[in-house]
Chain A
Amino acid sequence: MENASVFIVIPAYNEAAVIESVLQKLLAANYFNIVVVDDCSRDRTGEIVKNYPVFYLRHIINRGQGAALRTGTDFARQQGAQVIVHFDADGQMSVEDIARFVEHVNARRDVVLGSRFMAGSEVIQMPWHRKLLLTGAKVFNLVVLGVNYSDPQNGFRALSRQAAERLRWKNDRMAHNSEILRLIKTERLPYQEIPVKINYSEYSLKKGQSFKDVWKIIWDLFINKF
């Protein structure tokens, strides 16, 4: 499949410091369908993104990462995307991994999920407290939601067009990761986990999830069941 039908969706909130280098790497790798959803940034994110030949969408009110991904995914579908890749704006994900995600979707896996904990993955500078948090998330997802994935909080994923149509997550904020995994199970979509390279930086760690987000995620998952 040509890169023409591959859309990269990037939710961005106050990412002026790194978004430029992420876009440059993606364009250099010949991904020309890039959808940046600016979740009401207060810095120069929008100004920077508008200088590049990418789709720029702006939320006029901050709605959270889950909502920004939903907006970008819906938009990519409308543009005729066959494969939709969710990619972070903070520069910790590797552009080189995208090709393998696309290959697996083309091999009739509707959903491909990145994993930091499989053999072959490469995780640079992950602090112990982040590892502890992710282990806790894995146990929670297994025990409470009944989904068994090696890395449930990883936002690096690719969806086929069909999967993007069927995965209708409701959570606007960080709980969307767990909800997507539950939906993959309930929709019985064929999925595959693949090892990825993640490079943590001081910047990406500051932007990522922390222990104080845990209760909020649990509450959001609960309230959105009704």
Chain B
Amino acid sequence: MFLLQYLLIALSVLGIISLFWQIRRGNMDWFSSIKWFVAWCAVLVVAIEPAIADWLANLFGTGRGADLLIYLSILFIFALIFKLFLKINQVERQISDLVSHLAQDKAHKKKD
């Protein structure tokens, strides 16, 4: 085993422990919990048996396991950016609601 494999195994184990901690504290919904559990397990399996990455790369037609990892990372970053856009949009809407309520509460009309 290479040093990188040990690092990845340690990282994924820490990730899974932290995930269970978050679930116990009620900070995660079930969909996110499953998604992150699957992701960390995938990292753990590939770290223990790197040949799986090459087998998957051949399956997807990308050639090398490292290339597949980069493509998946790009997809993951795009998804993350889109999620951030949605979050920003949601916050913007909340700001608009707040501004609207303040404006209505302080409505002013000059007497004739």
Taking Cβ atoms with an 8 Å cutoff, the residues of A that contact B are 37, 50-61, 63, 67, 70-71, 74-75, 78, 170, 172, 223-224, 226
Contact = CB atoms under 8 A, between A and B. Distances in A.
B67 interface: no
Given A53-B109, A54-B110, 15 more contacts: A37-B103, A56-B107, A57-B104, A57-B108, A58-B106, A63-B95, A67-B99, A71-B103, A74-B100, A74-B104, A75-B104, A172-B92, A223-B85, A223-B89, A226-B86
A148 to B, nearest CB: 28
A57 B106 contact: yes
A59 B93 contact: no
Contacts of B96: 63, 67, 70, 172
A13 B31 CA distance: 43
Interface residues of B, number: 19
A55 B111 CA distance: 10
11 contacts: A37-B103, A51-B110, A53-B111, A55-B107, A55-B109, A56-B109, A57-B104, A57-B106, A67-B96, A70-B100, A74-B104
B102 interface: yes
Interface string B74-112: 000000000001100100110110011011101111111
Contact of A59 (B86, B89, B100, B110): B100
Contact of B95 (A57, A61, A78, A223): A61
Contact of A55 (B93, B108, B112): B108
A70 B104 CA distance: 11
Contacts of A226: 86, 89
